[in-house]
Structure 1
């Protein structure tokens, strides 16, 4: 199965707006890793709690390959939509996971390796998922550690932002 449910442009922009804080924090974290992600032939995806891909960046060859299976911004990439996959499973179990090759349900994804980690806010609420994906021939077990580490960094930055906002409010009064 290719990704089939793709948001219209207006609805996609609305979804991104709902995840604005998450994206404002996560995108710069990924930009810091741009060179590494490119050299490792990977792409990085940010997914909202409903499974929609909100941001996609990385190696141009990998991004081009992803388009063939509709692994693009605005697509719904849940287990219900495309079967077993790292993003969908991370959304379900709220834990980091790596899924490679035929571990994917969809034959269209059998040539991919993906590692995904959930991202929570200070209250423990799921605010998104970070995923690193690449062609299976470029896969390496470090992908899971890498995605987990960056997801934790994003969570910490979200926490810092919340506390800074609270302090700002306290000092105003």
Structure 2
């Protein structure tokens, strides 16, 4: 796993109490529509702007109903987080109790699934509706580490008056996203919260490290499952007699025959037995096997691509749909890949690695990251994308579906080419 950016709340060397006073003045000016005495962090400024557009009341209280016990248990089972729970509790619960914090685990939909830690802090959390079963998305409770991490997909800390709702100004929170290592899907958010007076710069790094450890253990479990599938796949491929691959349901390749080896292929959502079309291979025949799919290349003539639709109307689940004479294929995109494809769709003449680095990071020097991500995209999407410069293929029609409000395009993104 590569290094992740951490959005810490306290500037280096800042006095927490003095910084809280500055934030309070900034917050008062912001909600009153006056000129700000200083600018909040860009990620906080962007979140406050979302709160104004949504009409969130800075003096409000949570109004969304808390889940019933049956609903809560159902979301716990469906979350995919239960397997990570022992690691998260082992790494954070005792620390939370000692440091006057609570550990909170939230699913991808923003609902609090588990809460552990200091009993005294838990009672304070009860008073602001920060309870198991509560909806802690931005639109429900304003800017906060959990809800804003769900939008930005970045580990971040929110301190004192950075919270949009005044009732939360007495809190400091540090949260990190937890992803499914099999498909990159966001499973939820892990958070440590406590009184604002307990703020510490290292809290965010700790939460992020424990969350990454949980992701590593989930990945280890997946590799064990993939190895089990490999033992089944090798004899099956020996009988096929043509180019074929056996992959698990997430596209991770257990074994291949007659094809260049790759770690993973992009599979559409709702893949079913029968004929299909994959950007990496063209026309294929798909058969279910225990734990995955047998995918055989066919000799059907590959129909030319006609249209690519990049749909960014959903703030959290952008996707790419490819239509050809062989059918339609849809793939959900990671936030980073959605950013890159959005830029390329806007610049059909293409972008060099340094130009794309400037578009995404405001820094032309991060070309190693750009090349690595573009390599992943091109492995997934075969003939759709070209290189030197990076671009959509010339014979592909590209359509971008955007939300009505331009500010709502990929709201997680701080990329200059998108926010500009």
User: What TM-score, normalized by structure 2, do the two folds share?
Assistant: 0.39
Write out per-residue CA displacement over residues 19-58 of structure 1, whole angstroms, 9 at most, x where no aligned residue.
Answer: 2x42222344323433222111111111100000001001
Gaps of 5+ in 1: none
Distance between the aligned counterparts of 1:53 and 1:157, measured in 2?
A: 22
Count matched residues: 172
CA distance in structure 2 between the partners assigned to 1:74 and 1:24 by the alignment: 19
Task: Identify the range of structure 1 (76-85 vs 3-12) with the bigger mean alpha-carbon deviation.
Answer: 3-12
Distance (Å, rounded) in 1 between the aligned partners of 2:93 and 2:191: 14
Say whether the 8 Å CA contact 1:22–1:158 is kept in structure 2.
no
**Distance verdict in 2 for CA 1:26–1:77, change over 3 Å:** same
Asked if residue 114 in structure 1 is aligned to residue 168 in structure 2, the reply is no
Residues in 2 aligned to 1:68 and 1:43: alpha-carbon distance in whole angstroms: 14
Compute the displacement of 1:112 (Å).
Answer: 0.3
Does structure 2 retain, via aligned residues, the 8 Å contact 1:118–1:126? yes
Give runs of aligned pairs for residues 23-172 of structure 1, distance below 5 A. 23-122=82-181, 123-171=183-231
Q: What SS is found at the alignment partner of 1:67?
A: helix
Question: Equivalents in 2 of 1:27, 1:3: separation in Å?
Answer: 30
Secondary structure at the aligned position of 1:33 is classed as helix
Q: How far off its partner does 1:12 sit?
A: 1.2
Q: RMSD value over aligned CA atoms? A: 1.5
CA 1:2–1:24: 2 relative to 1, 3 Å: farther
Number of the residue aligned with 1:2: 61
Q: Distance in 1 between matches of 2:62 and 2:224?
A: 39
SS in 2 for 1:2: coil
- 1:159 Cα deviation from its structure 2 partner: 0.8
Secondary structure of the corresponding residue to residue 70 of structure 1:
coil
- Distance (Å, rounded) in 2 between the aligned partners of 1:117 and 1:32: 14
Match in the other structure for 1:16 = 76
Give the structure with higher Rg (CA).
2
Which structure shows the higher helix fraction?
1
8 Å Cα contact 1:4/1:76 also seen in 2: no
Is contact 1:2-1:71 (8 Å) kept?
no
Tell me the TM-score normalized by structure 1: 0.93
Q: What is the DSSP-based 3-state SS (H/G/I as helix, E as strand, rest coil) of the residue aligned with 1:114?
A: strand
Tell me, what secondary structure is at the counterpart of 1:3?
A: coil
Secondary structure at 1:130 match in 2: strand
Gaps of 5+ in 2: 1-59, 234-420
